Amino acid sequence: MRTIAFIAAMFAAVPALAAGDAAAGRRVADSWCVGCHLVGDEKKAPMLDVPPFPDIARTRTPDQVRTFLQKPHPAQPLFRLSQKDIDDLAAFIAGVKR
């Protein structure tokens, strides 16, 4: 019975871990994304044909953002984000929905 309770507790913790840290996600965005995307309060995105983060937040769920970030997207610089960075960035993007 203890084993079942332990396993249940472990699975209950997984969504919280996957939720990400929005403040850390902002740091990822400032390092990797701000060169192309409008990520926060800027008045204009650096590149016209690149969606601003608030638009992404309105049209995609955090899970869709995570899935998208697993692979490089067109015109993206070649870099690999860790799973933690992806989770954090998805949390940050979800928070900029306007």
Judge whether 11 lies within some domain.
no
Domain with residue 78: its CATH number is: 1.10.760.10
pLDDT for position 18? 53
- The reply to whether 46 falls in a domain is yes
Is the residue at 86 inside a domain? yes
The owner of tokens 């044909």 is 49
Written as one string, the DSSP assignment of 77-88 is: -S----HHHHHH
What pLDDT score was predicted for residue 49? 85
Whether residue 73 lies inside any domain: the answer is: yes
Asked if residue 13 is part of any domain, the answer here is no
Look at the chain and report how many structural domains it folds into.
1
**For 65-90, what is each residue's pLDDT tens digit?**
999 998 877 777 677 899 999 999 99
Domain encompassing residue 78: 20-95
Whether 81 is covered by a domain: the verdict is yes
The 10s digit of each residue's pLDDT in 34-58 is: 888 999 877 777 787 889 999 999 9
What distance in Å separates the CA atoms of residue 16 and residue 21, rounded to the nearest whole number? 10
- The CA distance from 32 to 16, in Å, is 25
In a domain, 47, yes or no: yes
